[in-house]
Structure 1
Amino acid sequence: MLIILFYFFIFIVFVQIAYYLGVFRSFAFAKAQKITSKRIPISVIVCAKNEEENVSKFIPILAAQDYPDFEIVLIDDASSDGTLDIFEEYEKQYSNIRLVKVANNEAFWGNKKYALTLGIKAAKKEYLLFTDADCFPTSKDWITAMSSQFTMQKTIVLGYGKYERISGSFLNKLIRFETLLTAVQYFSWAKIGRPYMGVGRNLAYKREEFFNANGFIEHMKVRSGDDDLFVNQVATKKNTTIVFAPESFTQSTAKTTFSDWLTQKRRHVATASHYKFADQLQLGTFYGSQLLFFILPIPLLIFQFQWIAVVSLIGVRYLVAWIMIGYSAGKLQEKGLKLWFPIVELVLIFTQLNIFIVNLFSKPASWK
């Protein structure tokens, strides 16, 4: 039995190294990007539901972007707080703000995709740039950076949405590491020609991509997924590119309680179950091999079976993973995370296992 476990462990280490060296290396060692303004017309789209505190802080930052031709489409998704009132004040203050008011609709209640569809239809520019109501660009050149990667062929641009850094918070390190690892995955797969997701905190595409796909109709019944499910549906090697220049980043307010973050991640994991089968398989293989990498050595080390070889394999895998994560963290300006890598990775893996089990018995209900 120990012999079987040993050889299976070797296989699992091989799978992990294959992911880090065969896939994630494509992003970790990617050359720095040059940002050149293309001055194409951009509609920045923000959908908000009960976000009065965030929109009062972040909309002025959006309006202050240094870009010659853009509008901001603010979508109020039937908020019950003061979000709509704030939007109306901004509409009076800024000439390039367009307001879309979404009333409660029984057929699409709580469905962000319905609200976004109305906003996209109201947008007047050919290129759409999406962010969330609790996000803000980290640079005045955000629109310039995101739009710089559009070409005649590349009509979908995947960006990076980071989370604020909270000093002394282990939960914050966990959230930021999970965000970093997710970005490494979708950036790397996109670079090798297999794009499978993007994040609505920082995503851009041409209007024609939305209408050619009949909008969100293919997955309208899934409450979430206006970003990753849409990208999973329409993104290809030919039409998708990435941007990771620091000017292109957005930053979001991070959750401060473990329960709030778990609720958010449960929604993300539930959405991923609707990806194409090949994408589910590659994600499942990676996370499954991560989990087994931690479980299989336990009986081997307890019984000291080929323990030198086992420890060596663990060390090689950690070295390879650490290098790839370290270089990627540097590109995405996630300082300090590589030092916490062994700990946060272990906690994240078993947290994800718990989320997967809980989601088998109940599904998250709505986007807010």
Structure 2
Amino acid sequence: MELTLLESCLLGSLIFCFLIQLYFSLFVHLKLAFFPVEPIPETATAPLSVIICARNEADNLREYLPAVMNQNYPDFEVVVVNDRSWDGTRQVLEEFAKAYKHLKIVTITEGEKFIAGKKFAVTMGIKAASNDWLVFTDADCVPASANWLLGMQQSEIPKTEIVLGYSPYLKKRGVLNALIRFETFFTAVNYLSYAIKGMPYMGVGRNMAYKKTLFFKNKGFAAHMHIPSGDDDLFVNANAHVHNTEIRINKESQVWSEPNTSFGAYLRQKKRHFGAGKLYKGKHKFILSSQIIFQFLFYAFFAALLFFKATLYLALGIFLLSIIIRCFIYPRILKRLNYSDLRWWFPILDILLFIFLVFNGILSIFVKKVKWK
């Protein structure tokens, strides 16, 4: 059956988007599926400081801080920055300080001159740290094992200044939780895969590490202090490169995090991340935008071709081939990144995630104001 010019253009466009999609899947993300996972070292190489910023986190600190304080690491301190809390965080930290001598508390009071957002608190924590190697996490996070710090410790390679870890969200009931975990998975697949490829562009503050000297040598957050978010990804985007960055994905070196439980809170969180992404380097913005745009066009051209009898089966065949290929790649990575239960829902979650990303991108155009907490 001969195709019309419109049908030919739509079909050609669908095939082109399919090939772009294959590039990201086969030549970028597949690297993570076969990346060798290094075992946890048995010994520590150097002292380190853990930095945690807390704003009204009394309950989370009470539940999760012991797992950080009791790490199987011979020489470390934990610096907790109490950022203007009023929920009893100070009292909780003072009780912990009686039991743990390696806990250091930094308090930011409401009357102090400060810059809004988390970056001021992070900077104060870094200044208070006694050691050069800094490991970062959040108050609502819990290490996957007592060997977390052994896995995130300073590399034996002298050039390494940044280590990108991984932080999955805890499993809860409901579709929202599945979507949150799946979106976190794809974010991790992207930044870990590109780091392997030699193009690190972001990290997640729930589990990452870098040198104090690197922070001050590059003037910390000075270039983007006016942005409320970005204490993790913007810092990595500005300072990471192929020679100074490693990734750690051993299951013992991961950090589990509490997910948002409401759609509104999740939207606000993604809005903060979207705002920071605008300041990424041009090549990184191009790559990330291309992924979303070509995925959108793939679905758009597929939907359009369904209305033409001559291209119906061709379009369905290309769409199914895309799903089959991706189902051979991403479920393997889902298992590696502690999301095995999502493997069976991959095709559905993939479409839901795409719809959410488009919705969030449109919403971000109209909603400008964001804050940390």
TM-score by length of 1: 0.96
Instruction: Provide the rounded CA distance (Å) in 2 between the counterparts of 1:208 and 1:323.
Output: 42
- Give 1:166's aligned residue: 172
Alignment partner of 1:256 is 2:233: no
- Give 1:280's aligned residue: 285
- Kindly indicate whether the alpha-carbon contact (under 8 Å) linking 1:150 and 1:156 is maintained by their aligned counterparts in 2: no
Structure 2 residue corresponding to 1:119, chosen from 118, 125, 140: 125
Within 5 A, what are the aligned runs for 1:187-336? Answer: 187-336=192-341
Q: Which amino acid aligns with 2:334?
A: A
Where structure 2 has 5 or more consecutive residues not aligned to the other structure, the ranges are 1-5
- Kindly indicate whether the alpha-carbon contact (under 8 Å) linking 2:334 and 2:342 is maintained by their aligned counterparts in 1: yes
- Kindly indicate whether the alpha-carbon contact (under 8 Å) linking 2:118 and 2:372 is maintained by their aligned counterparts in 1: yes
SS at match of 1:322: helix
Structure 1 residue corresponding to 2:57, chosen from 51, 62, 68: 51
- Give 2:185's aligned residue: 180
SS at match of 1:204: strand
- Kindly indicate whether the alpha-carbon contact (under 8 Å) linking 2:133 and 2:154 is maintained by their aligned counterparts in 1: no
- Give 1:33's aligned residue: 38
Instruction: Provide the rounded CA distance (Å) in 2 between the counterparts of 1:210 and 1:225.
Output: 14
- Give 1:60's aligned residue: 66
SS at match of 2:78: strand
Instruction: Provide the rounded CA distance (Å) in 1 between the counterparts of 2:363 and 2:84.
Output: 30
Instruction: Provide the rounded CA distance (Å) in 2 between the counterparts of 1:165 and 1:44.
Output: 25
Instruction: Provide the rounded CA distance (Å) in 2 between the counterparts of 1:204 and 1:32.
Output: 18
Alignment partner of 1:90 is 2:96: yes
Deviations 1:36-95 (A, max 9, x none): 133311100100001111011111111111110100001001112111121122122210
Structure 1 residue corresponding to 2:79, chosen from 73, 76, 80: 73
Deviations 1:150-198 (A, max 9, x none): 521111000001100114x111111111111111100000001000000
Instruction: Provide the rounded CA distance (Å) in 1 between the counterparts of 2:68 and 2:339.
Output: 23
Shift of the alpha carbon at 1:5? 1.3
Q: Which amino acid aligns with 1:275?
A: Y
Structure 2 residue corresponding to 1:346, chosen from 329, 342, 351: 351
Shift of the alpha carbon at 1:324? 1.9
Instruction: Provide the rounded CA distance (Å) in 2 between the counterparts of 1:150 and 1:131.
Output: 22
- Give 2:145's aligned residue: 139
SS at match of 2:134: strand
SS at match of 2:122: helix
- Kindly indicate whether the alpha-carbon contact (under 8 Å) linking 1:39 and 1:69 is maintained by their aligned counterparts in 2: no
- Kindly indicate whether the alpha-carbon contact (under 8 Å) linking 1:270 and 1:364 is maintained by their aligned counterparts in 2: no
Instruction: Provide the rounded CA distance (Å) in 2 between the counterparts of 1:6 and 1:238.
Output: 42
- Give 1:99's aligned residue: 105
Where structure 1 has 5 or more consecutive residues not aligned to the other structure, the ranges are none
Alignment partner of 1:13 is 2:18: yes
Instruction: Provide the rounded CA distance (Å) in 1 between the counterparts of 2:111 and 2:231.
Output: 18
Instruction: Provide the rounded CA distance (Å) in 2 between the counterparts of 1:215 and 1:91.
Output: 28
Shift of the alpha carbon at 1:343? 1.1
TM-score by length of 2: 0.95
Q: Say what the alpha-carbon RMSD is for the aligned residues.
A: 1.4
Q: Which amino acid aligns with 2:336?
A: K
- Kindly indicate whether the alpha-carbon contact (under 8 Å) linking 1:156 and 1:239 is maintained by their aligned counterparts in 2: yes
Instruction: Provide the rounded CA distance (Å) in 1 between the counterparts of 2:275 and 2:216.
Output: 26
Instruction: Provide the rounded CA distance (Å) in 2 between the counterparts of 1:317 and 1:148.
Output: 40
Q: Which runs of 4+ in 1 moved over 6 A?
A: none
Instruction: Provide the rounded CA distance (Å) in 1 between the counterparts of 2:206 and 2:333.
Output: 19
- Kindly indicate whether the alpha-carbon contact (under 8 Å) linking 1:138 and 1:249 is maintained by their aligned counterparts in 2: yes
- Kindly indicate whether the alpha-carbon contact (under 8 Å) linking 2:40 and 2:147 is maintained by their aligned counterparts in 1: no
Q: Which amino acid aligns with 1:76?
A: N
Instruction: Provide the rounded CA distance (Å) in 2 between the counterparts of 1:226 and 1:71.
Output: 21
